[in-house]
A and B are shown apart, each in its own frame.
Chain A
Amino acid sequence: SQTIHQWPATLVQPVGSPLSLECTVEGTSNPNLYWYRQAAGRGLQLLFYSVGIGQISSEVPQNLSASRPQDRQFILSSKKLLLSDSGFYLCAWIPGAYEQYFGPGTRLTVT
C-alpha cells in the first residue's frame, strides 16, 4: 500500500532561520506531489507542485522554495523564515483519478 511521510511533525524556529521540511512517498513511482500551507483561520493554499524529478511549479511567490531531488522525495525550504510563514504544512500526492491524499503535516511556529 502507498503511504506518505512528513517530518518533522512540529517545529519552532526563530525569524530569520532556515527551514527544511521533507516529504517522502512509499509504494508508488512518479507521483504528482504537492505542498500546501494552512495558516491559522485560513484555508489550504497550494504552494508548489511537482510532476517529476527536478520539475517544480510555484503557485504563490514568497520566500519559500521546493525541490524534488528523487522521484518520491519532495522538500520545502526557506533561507530566512518570516513570522507569516507559521502554519500547518501538508504534503500531498495523487494515486489516481485526481483524488489527493495528505501526509500527517508539519506544524511550524516562527517566533
Chain B
Amino acid sequence: RKEVEQDPGPFNVPEGATVAFNCTYSNSASQSFFWYRQDCRKEPKLLMSVYSSGNEDGRFTAQLNRASQYISLLIRDSKLSDSATYLCVVISSNSGYALNFGKGTSLLVTP
C-alpha cells in the first residue's frame, strides 16, 4: 500500500465553486503534513502546512484527522488560477525527514 494516497481526479469545476480534496496516509508515526501545488511542468510549491487544529489561508482551508489518518484541503470561490495539481505530503521521522508525496489531484477551473 502506498504511504500517501489521493484521488487523482481530474476535478473539473466552474469558477466560484467550492472543491474539496482528500488524502489518506498509512504511517501512524507521521509527523508533519502539507499541501503543495504543482503547475504543469513546474516544480512543486508549498501551499500550506496542515495542523491538527485545522488552518485557513484566505480561500484555502486544511484539516488533519490523526485518528483517521486523513487530510483534506478545501478551496472556496475557485479561480481560474487555481487550476493545478495539488499534492498531499507527509513527513515521517525516517528518511532524513524527506517528503512522501501522494500522486496529486488535478484541478481544472473553467470559466
Contact = CB atoms under 8 A, between A and B. Distances in A.
B17 interface: no
Contacts of A97: 32, 49
Contacts, number: 57
Nearest to B44: A102
Given A34-B98, A44-B87, A46-B95, 20 more contacts: A34-B99, A42-B103, A43-B4, A44-B44, A46-B98, A46-B100, A49-B95, A51-B96, A57-B95, A57-B96, A94-B97, A98-B97, A99-B34, A99-B46, A99-B49, A100-B46, A100-B98, A100-B99, A102-B44, A105-B43
28 contacts: A32-B96, A32-B97, A34-B99, A36-B99, A42-B103, A43-B4, A43-B103, A43-B104, A44-B44, A44-B87, A44-B99, A46-B98, A46-B100, A49-B95, A49-B96, A90-B43, A97-B32, A97-B49, A98-B31, A98-B91, A99-B34, A99-B46, A99-B49, A102-B44, A103-B43, A104-B42, A104-B43, A105-B42
